[in-house]
Amino acid sequence: MKPKILAVSKIHESALRKAQEFADVDVKLDMTEEQLVGIVDKYDAILVRSKPKITKAMIDAGKNLKVIGRAGVGLDNVDKEAAKAKGVEVVNSPEAATVSVAEHAMALMLALLRHIPKAERKLREGNWDRKIMGTELYGKTLGLIGFGRIGKEVSLRARAFGMKIIVSDPIMTSEDAREFNAELVSTEELVKTADIISLHVPVLPTTKDIINEKTLAMMKPTAVIINTARGHAIDEDALYKALKENKIAGAALDVYKTEPPTGSPLLTLDNIVVVPHMGANTNEGQVTAGMVVVEKIRKILVK
C-alpha cells in the first residue's frame, strides 16, 4: 500500500506529480485547524509552504504521521517541539530559494539606489521628472551580515557590479571569505564601513534586532539597509526613527516583524522600498522547493 501525503498548501504541480509516483496525494487547501485535526490521522506526511500553521494539535492527531515537509526555507509555521516529541521528522528545502533571494536582494539594491519605485510612481501621475538622481553600485562597499548560501550568491553578483565585499559571520573564517573575494570583519566594523548592508541571517537569539539603535547610529548617513532575511533582524522602531530623521539614506525591506505590516509607520516614509515577502517567489524557486522537499519525504517514507 502506498503511503499517503496531505498537501495543505498550493505546491507546484511538478512536485505533486513527483510525489504521486510513490504516494497517494490529497490536496486540501484553506482548511481550518479543526478540520485538519479531524483528517490528519489518515496520513503519513504533511506537505506545507509558509501557511497554514502545523500545530501541536494537528501533530498529536496524526497517529500515522512520520514526516512534515515544508516547501521553503523557514520552519516558523511548524511546531518543531511537538514534532520532535512525537518522533515526527521535519524537513524543508532551504537550498531551493538561494538564487531567487540573492537576485531579489540585488533587485532591491538597484530599486532603492536608483529610486525606481518613486520614478515610476511620478510618471504614472503625469510627472516627467528627469532630475531624480540615483547612486551607482560600482565602487561601493557591500556589507553582508550572514554569509551562508544566499550571502555567498549575493557576493558573486555584487562582484559583477564592481563592488567591494565585506562580511560578518561568526562561523566563517577569513579563508572562507577570501574564496569569494570578500573580507571577514566584525559586525561593528561592517556597519561603520559599508555603503550598503544586506542581511542574510537566520532566526536566532543572537540575530534578533541585530540592526538596532546602536548599530544604526554607527552607519554612514549615506548608507542603506536591505533585508531579505527575516523581520526578526531589525528593530523597526529604531529603523523608522533613523529613516525619518535622515540618519541613514534608505532601506529596502522584503520582510517584517509582523506580516503583513499593516499600520507600520515605515510604510509612510519616502526613503524606503517595501515589498510583500516575495524573495523566494519565482517559478524556478517554487519548482525547486517542491521537488527538493518531496524527494526528502520520499527517502523517509519509502525504505
Share the mean pLDDT of the chain.
96
Query: pLDDT at residue 80 above 90?
Result: yes
Question: Whole-prediction pTM value?
Answer: 0.88
Q: What percent of the chain has pLDDT over 90?
A: 95
Q: Tell whether 161 and 191 lie within a shared domain.
A: yes
Catalytic residue (choose from 95, 136, 259, 284) = 259
Q: What is the CATH number of the domain that holds 65?
A: 3.40.50.720
Helix (H, G, I), strand (E, B) or coil at 227: strand
Mark whether 230 is an active-site residue.
Answer: yes
Q: Tell whether 262 and 147 lie within a shared domain.
A: yes
Which residues lie closer than 8 Å to 296 by C-beta, 6 or more apart?
67, 69, 91, 93
Catalytic residue (choose from 114, 157, 277, 295) = 277
Residue at 195 is within a domain: yes
Give the E-state strand segments of the chain in sequence order: 4-7, 24-27, 45-48, 67-70, 89-92, 141-145, 164-168, 182-184, 196-199, 224-227, 250-253, 272-274
pLDDT in tens, 238-253: 999 999 999 999 999 9
Query: pLDDT at residue 301 above 90?
Result: yes
**C-beta of residue 158 within 8 angstroms of C-beta of residue 165:** yes
Query: pLDDT at residue 148 above 90?
Result: yes
Q: Average pLDDT, stretch 64-74?
A: 93
Q: Tell whether 72 and 139 lie within a shared domain.
A: no
C-alpha cell at 208: 534578533
pLDDT in tens, 100-140: 999 999 999 999 999 999 999 999 999 999 999 999 999 99
Number of domains in the chain: 2
Query: pLDDT at residue 76 above 90?
Result: no
Q: Tell whether 205 and 245 lie within a shared domain.
A: yes
Q: Tell whether 194 and 254 lie within a shared domain.
A: yes
Query: pLDDT at residue 159 above 90?
Result: yes
Query: pLDDT at residue 197 above 90?
Result: yes
Distance between CA 27 and CA 34 in Å, rounded?
A: 17
Residue at 101 is within a domain: no
Q: Tell whether 49 and 70 lie within a shared domain.
A: yes
Residue at 87 is within a domain: yes
Q: Which pLDDT value is given to residue 75?
A: 87
Q: Which pLDDT value is given to residue 266?
A: 98
Residue at 294 is within a domain: yes
Catalytic residue (choose from 49, 200, 230, 232) = 230
Query: pLDDT at residue 176 above 90?
Result: yes
pLDDT in tens, 38-57: 999 999 999 999 899 999 99
Query: pLDDT at residue 72 above 90?
Result: no
Residue at 89 is within a domain: yes
Q: How sure is the predictor about 270, in pLDDT bands with cuts at 50, 70 and 90?
A: very high
The residue range of the domain holding 20 is 4-94+283-301
Q: Which pLDDT value is given to residue 45?
A: 98
Q: What percent of the chain has pLDDT over 70?
A: 100
Mark whether 115 is an active-site residue.
Answer: no
Q: Tell whether 157 and 36 lie within a shared domain.
A: no
Q: Tell whether 217 and 150 lie within a shared domain.
A: yes
Residue at 115 is within a domain: no
Mark whether 277 is an active-site residue.
Answer: yes
